[in-house]
Structure 1
């Protein structure tokens, strides 16, 4: 059972990967629920300054390899608060990415299949690609006709 104060209608986004359920609440909190134990492993009450609208786990790809500890990483996004990367082994934000513009639309983010890059949509009609180890962006993909709400990496080739 999730935290008693978090009801299903309080959940803004969630993600399931292996035996973990990640939950973002409208109250700005985030919980990690372990299905094997049937308990909340950790909770961050104020994970973002606004409700979390996107949770992305590092699922990798059959077409590339990455270190096993990389699968502990996941991203959260909230309007006006950028993208944060978290590690399942510790209940704190590891790094923050906020060079993209995200003032009012729920722009999503993605982790590359190799685990080295993060992409994020933006309200300035661009998509941003970050190196996972750095908070500054590597590439700004421009010339989109409107806000970039969703981004994804090709699982087989290094393309956004």
Structure 2
């Protein structure tokens, strides 16, 4: 073992000791557990969402889905090299957008409904204008944002002219779509791939999840890191901001979902399924914040009562891994995508 190796191990051990000390200090500040505090609350009814529409159009694994701001249209991205924009009310395809690369890992729908974005193993974020057509009649390609040394794992529109991206090279970037240039960039945002991004309700902050097992809170306006949250024992595959703006939920490869409170700077909820057999790929919160939902490798979407920390039920129907879920902004529907090639609308 070289001197550098020994020094690295010593530094890692020191870092782990500091993290453990931080956790101890945080726990000292917690005067009670969430489940204890909410024990006298009445139980919520079982979550009875059922499949309203089963959307068939893709011919390969569907890796990502995201609702638009109108809570009616959603976009899905698949390994068949297509983006499909769906009308979730009727179940009809609105547009099919052929992609230059089929390795899609993330999609995003602008709140305005004017643009969709996607990216993946092509190390690029591609933006399409859904209201304009190119010479072939497809949605017009507006921008191809290159400059990543790793796959594009997540993207979210800040507005019609700015998009936030996270990638496998640990970068976070904000892009100006008019010029096609970065306005902000953080090179080592995490100690591993940035896997998931969720914007706060006011749009001024966002939270990221990473394979380094941590979540971080950032300020959109200057891309400054505000807080780091520890707790998970494996990759944090998904993060979702609480509707109140003061907390966020996570879904992880360690087979747990968790709820972190920003004001108390620590984890307040720990959620496990009845049988801990599969990791969680995605998470979402109901509009009230009372339900936490997680898509899983076991083909189901698990639901918990966030306040009483109780498993509330399972949404079953997919026949393969659930890759992504997205809650409608108005809280009236949930969409999910799966390796079974279907997109489901739950109401």
**Do they fold alike, i.e. is TM over 0.5?**
yes
Superposition CA RMSD, Å? 2.5
TM-score normalised by structure 1 residue count: 0.77
**Cα separation, 1, equivalents of 2:215 and 2:289:** 24
Give the number of the structure whose alpha-carbon radius of gyration is greater.
Answer: 2
How far, CA to CA, are the matches of 2:252 and 2:146 in structure 1? 35
TM-score of the superposed pair, with normalisation by structure 2: 0.38
**Aligned match of 2:209:** 77
1:108 positional shift: 0.5
Q: For structure 2, which runs of at least 5 residues remain unmatched after alignment?
A: 1-142, 293-347
Match of 2:263 in 1: 133
Shift in CA distance, 5/39, structure 1 to aligned 2, threshold 3 Å: closer
User: Which consecutive unaligned segments of at least 5 residues does structure 1 have?
Assistant: 61-69
1:48 to 190, 205, 212: 190
Match of 1:117 among 211, 235, 247: 247
User: Greater strand share, 1 or 2?
Assistant: 2
Paired residues, what number? 147
Q: 1:135 to 1:2 in 2, by over 3 A?
A: farther
Change (3 A) 1:21 1:29: same
Structure 2 CA distance for aligned equivalents of residues 40 and 86 of structure 1: 17
Query: Residue deviations 1:84-124, cap 9 Å, x none?
Result: 11111222211111212224xx5211101111211111334
The aligned counterpart of 1:18 is 159
CA 1:144/1:116 → structure 2, altered by over 3 Å: closer, same or farther?
A: farther
Pair 1:91 & 2:223 matched: yes
Q: Assess if the C-alpha contact under 8 Å between 1:126 and 1:144 holds in 2.
A: no
CA distance in 2, matches of 1:4, 1:114: 35
Q: Compared with structure 1, are the counterparts of its residues 128 and 4 closer, same or farther at alpha carbon in structure 2 (3 Å cutoff)?
A: closer
Q: In structure 2, how many angstroms separate the alpha carbons of the residues matched to 1:156 and 1:150?
A: 19
